[in-house]
């Protein structure tokens, strides 16, 4: 009697255990299936399915916002999305401009693409140009994409004495900061054995207009644009620019002189940069001007000098 009871009980026990095991397996299977279904909806899964490696997928997900991930998912796998991130001067908000430029210029290296787009060179000169932010003071950018309006005039202009500048006293002016920095530069250059002279400095909007209009009238718009900045687009209107030569030298002879080599390698210590270098014409949009120096302050000037970039690039990455 007891034996039979026991047998019955153990049978029941086995049934319960087996039932439980089946239930657990079932639940597990359901949970896993749901998990898998959910994972398949994730961007991680979609990126891996598109062909990105796990490592690249992690990078993409950590560096891009949802909107950009959507964009990447809607396109073919392309290493540019990873590689562009490695560019030193990559700017997130310019991503689509980089990609458009890349699409139109197959084979162009990414460093050049970033350089060009950051400095707006993917656009035509004067196209979609913006009024520059004058609150940036010595870091304001004036080029073929950023302009000053007719009324802009620096508030603290200082006259450069004729010891350091051509023309009548008062005809050459720069901002106070620029002048103070220039004096230090001048003294250092003098100690090194050179005699620097300023041949051009602050120019009013009206003056630039006169110069530009004259070229345009006599030689046409294309020529005028090549040779002169349009009114409002000249850096000389900022009061932070100087054209500097060694006494006795001209635009033709200065670039081969020792004084130029000295200036080029020492100007940054006093806050000045060579603004339109020979090997940066494609970025600045200006032909090589060995004599044109721009005051940007010691920090910016030193960075620009040491990293061999232009002010246009510096502005896009650090100032704007």
Known catalytic residues are 289
Q: How near is the Cβ of 80 to Zn ion at its closest, in Å?
A: 38
DSSP class of residue 271?
T
Question: Which two three-digit tokens encode residue 74?
Answer: 């809607």
Cβ at position 146, least distance to Zn ion in Å: 16
Of 118 and 201, which CB lies nearer to Zn ion in the complex structure?
Answer: 201
Spatial distance between the Cα atoms of 43 and 55, rounded to a whole number of angstroms:
14
* DSSP sequence for 38-93: HHHTSHHHHHHHHT--HHHHHHHHHHS-HHHHHHHHTS---THHHHGGGSTT--GG
CB proximity list for 281: less than 8 A, separation 6 or greater: 287, 288
First to last CA, the chain: 94
Q: Which residues contact 273 (CB under 8 A, 6 or more apart)?
A: 267, 293, 294, 296, 300, 301, 304, 305, 311
Select 94 or 292, whichever has its Cβ closest to Zn ion. 292
**Least distance in Å: CB of 251 to Zn ion?**
10
CB of 205 to Zn ion, least distance (A): 15
Report how far residue 231's alpha carbon sits from residue 7's, in angstroms, rounded to the nearest whole number.
106
Nearer to Zn ion, 97 or 243 (CB): 243
- Give me the least distance between CB of 190 and Zn ion, in Å please: 22
The upper half-sphere exposure of residue 187, i.e. CA atoms within 13 Å in the direction of its Cβ, equals 8
- For Zn ion, the closer CB: 72 or 142: 142
Question: Which residues, 6+ apart, have CB-to-CB distance to 111 below 8 Å?
Answer: 87, 88
Q: By C-beta, is 84 or 244 nearer to Zn ion?
A: 244
For 148, the 3-state DSSP assignment is: coil
Binding site for Zn ion (CB under 5 A): 243, 292
């Amino acid at each position: 009697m007891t034996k039979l009871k026991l047998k019955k009980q153990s049978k029941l026990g086995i049934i319960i255990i087996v039932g439980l095991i089946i239930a657990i397996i079932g639940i597990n299977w359901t949970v896993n299936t749901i998990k898998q279904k959910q994972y398949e909806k994730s961007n991680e899964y979609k990126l891996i399915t598109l062909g990105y490696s796990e490592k690249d997928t992690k990078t993409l997900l950590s560096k891009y916002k949802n909107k950009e991930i959507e964009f990447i998912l809607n396109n073919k796998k392309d290493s540019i999305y990873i590689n562009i991130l490695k560019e030193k001067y990559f700017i997130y908000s310019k991503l689509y401009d980089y990609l458009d430029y890349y699409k139109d210029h197959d084979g162009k290296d990414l460093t050049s693409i970033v350089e060009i787009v950051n400095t707006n060179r993917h656009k035509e000169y004067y196209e979609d140009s913006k009024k520059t932010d004058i609150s940036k003071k010595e870091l304001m950018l004036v080029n073929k994409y950023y302009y000053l309006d007719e009324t802009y005039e620096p508030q603290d202009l200082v006259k450069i004495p004729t010891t350091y500048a051509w023309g009548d006293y008062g005809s050459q002016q720069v901002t106070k900061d620029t002048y103070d920095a220039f004096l230090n530069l001048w003294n250092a250059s003098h100690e090194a054995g050179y005699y620097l002279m300023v041949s051009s400095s602050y120019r009013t909007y009206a003056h630039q207009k006169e110069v530009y209009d004259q070229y345009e009238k006599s030689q046409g718009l294309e020529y005028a644009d090549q040779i002169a900045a349009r009114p409002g687009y000249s850096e000389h209107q900022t009061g932070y620019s100087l054209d500097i030569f060694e006494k006795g030298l001209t635009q033709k002879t200065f670039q081969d002189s020792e004084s130029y080599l000295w200036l080029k390698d020492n100007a940054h210590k006093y806050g000045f940069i060579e603004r339109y270098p020979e090997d940066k014409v494609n970025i600045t949009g200006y032909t090589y001007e060995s004599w044109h120096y721009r005051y940007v302050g010691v920090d910016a000037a030193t960075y620009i000098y040491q990293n061999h970039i232009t002010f246009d690039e510096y502005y896009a990455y650090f100032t704007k």
